[in-house]
Amino acid sequence: MTEPGASVSKTRENISQLRCIECGAVRENGGRNFRCASCGDLLEIVYPGWEKLDPATHKSIWLQRRTSPLPMDESGVWRFRELLPTLRDWNTAITLKEGNTPLYELPRCARAAGMQQLFAKHQGMNPTGSFKDTGMTVAASFAREQGFRWVACASTGNTSASMAAYASRGGMRSLVLIPEGHVSWGKLSQSLDYGAVTCQLKTGFDGCMQVLNQIVERMPVYLLNSINPYRLEGQKTAAIELLESLNWDPPDHIIVPGGNMGNSSALGKALVEMKEVGLISRLPKLSLIQAEGANAMVRTMRETGGRKLVSVDAETLATAIRIGSPASWKKAARVLQATGGTVEQVSEAEIALAKAEIGADGIGCEPASAVTLAGLKKLVKQGFVKSGDHVVLILTGHLLKDPEFTLKFHRGDLLEGQRALGLDAQQRAPIALDASADSVIRILEQAETHTSA
């Protein structure tokens, strides 16, 4: 492998800068691991050259682009390119027409949570079925612009699926490190089909991340985990698009799942920036929900007020967020403080129930996304969210990402003692029958009596 040109274009430097979140040092480029060369903390992208944008003009340009046939405008990410770092040539962006995801109303889930109304922005409706695509289009484009032939990530499955797709589209090779036995088949099969070199390591996500850090020090591969700040810039656009669809009237609460904390950091950054440039007049509260068995951020906030990371040995069936040492914890802590949001944790049974309830609204999502509804129920009980508040859940992954979880739940063998946990009302196991109309009609009649009862 040859070393790609490390320097970044001067034009881009004029518009955005990489800055350390801790010591404030400004960096020429992200180096190999996107950490500050002085203090080792994470870098973020800032825009010192931003003139105060004229909100009205930009809102109208972004809307007009919705009907434009240009690939850059068809992407729900690059449509907002004035709020993103500048590529030397916009036409070189690697895009799969990501973004432009739907905002759904969830009436049954609203009732289950004690809310008058409830909405969900479904980031699982992106090209590879998760929110990762919005960040990947940006970071993969910058990787290619800098001449990298290889990109790499450690992943619980969605980042790797997305990276593999964008790398292939952009003519790059990709290296995936995933924890053996803890990635759903749906996600694993995606990275194989998209052509990644996929390595299953005998460790968890945090262990994969450590191995990857050593690899990027030794080989000219471009790191595409969410510590890469270009990814977070792309992921910001989900919040921008959400506010646009609400006619720039901010909801009271936005609720997100927390894993490695990249997404919450990105959405929070977008909210703060939108307020700074005058696109919105107040900040929604951004709250983070984790699985009880992977609750590093909850403990970090509760035990240290967000000052020091409390790592945990992660264990949850919501494998996407089975992460014990979240890289972007400090960025997320700042977002929670800036927006006045909170943290909450939910049990495996609460996640499974919430996932089935989101399914029963005709939408569905993968287990990690369902923590949002499970967490909302708790926040309503605590009074942090009022029943009349305007709440948007961010659903991060598609239902089909993890069919094994769904099937086990409905068959009643996902959780130990599942019958006793009171989840039966949502369970619908497949019914094996003789191939006769009579036996099917009997089932139909039973089901009808059951519903009308």
Which residues of this chain interact with ligand F0G, rule CB under 6 A?
130, 155-159, 226, 257-264, 320-321, 366, 368-369, 396-397
Instruction: Find the shortest distance in angstroms from Cβ 79 to ligand F0G.
Output: 22
Instruction: Find the shortest distance in angstroms from Cβ 448 to ligand F0G.
Output: 36
Nearest CB to ligand F0G, comparing residues 163 and 277: 163
- Look-up: residue for tokens 């699926």? 161
Instruction: Find the shortest distance in angstroms from Cβ 59 to ligand F0G.
Output: 27
Residues 6+ apart with CB under 8 A from 176: 152, 153, 155, 160, 163, 164, 191, 196, 197, 198, 199
Instruction: Find the shortest distance in angstroms from Cβ 371 to ligand F0G.
Output: 8
Closest CA to 95 of 144, 52, 61: 144
Instruction: Find the shortest distance in angstroms from Cβ 71 to ligand F0G.
Output: 25
Pinpoint the alpha helices (H) of 92-157.
107-113, 132-145
Nearest CB to ligand F0G, comparing residues 126 and 418: 126
Nearest CB to ligand F0G, comparing residues 87 and 259: 259
Instruction: Find the shortest distance in angstroms from Cβ 395 to ligand F0G.
Output: 8
Closest residue to ligand F0G, judged by C-beta, is: 259
Phi, psi torsion values for 43, nearest 5 degrees = -105, 155
Nearest CB to ligand F0G, comparing residues 30 and 258: 258
Strand order in the sheet with 221-223: 197-201, 173-179, 150-154, 221-223
Pinpoint the alpha helices (H) of 343-429.
348-360, 367-382, 403-411
Nearest CB to ligand F0G, comparing residues 53 and 271: 271
Do 274 and 412 touch, CB atoms closer than 8 A? no
- Which tokens hold the place of 92? 């070189």
Nearest CB to ligand F0G, comparing residues 53 and 183: 183
Instruction: Find the shortest distance in angstroms from Cβ 51 to ligand F0G.
Output: 31
Instruction: Find the shortest distance in angstroms from Cβ 244 to ligand F0G.
Output: 22
- Which tokens hold the place of 237? 């656009």
CA distance linking residue 30 with residue 7, whole number of Å: 10
What are the CA-CA distances from residue 154 to residues 125, 187, 273, 363 (Å)? Answer: 23, 13, 29, 29
- Which tokens hold the place of 305? 């007020």
Nearest CB to ligand F0G, comparing residues 272 and 321: 321
Nearest CB to ligand F0G, comparing residues 106 and 261: 261
Q: What is the sign of the dihedral through the CA atoms of 170, 235, 377 and 364?
A: negative
Instruction: Find the shortest distance in angstroms from Cβ 183 to ligand F0G.
Output: 9
Nearest CB to ligand F0G, comparing residues 156 and 325: 156
Closest CA to 156 of 75, 259, 76: 259
Strand 150-154 and strand 173-179: pairing? parallel
CA distance linking residue 31 with residue 14, whole number of Å: 18
What are the CA-CA distances from residue 86 to residues 80, 126, 138, 240, 307 (Å)? Answer: 11, 23, 10, 17, 33
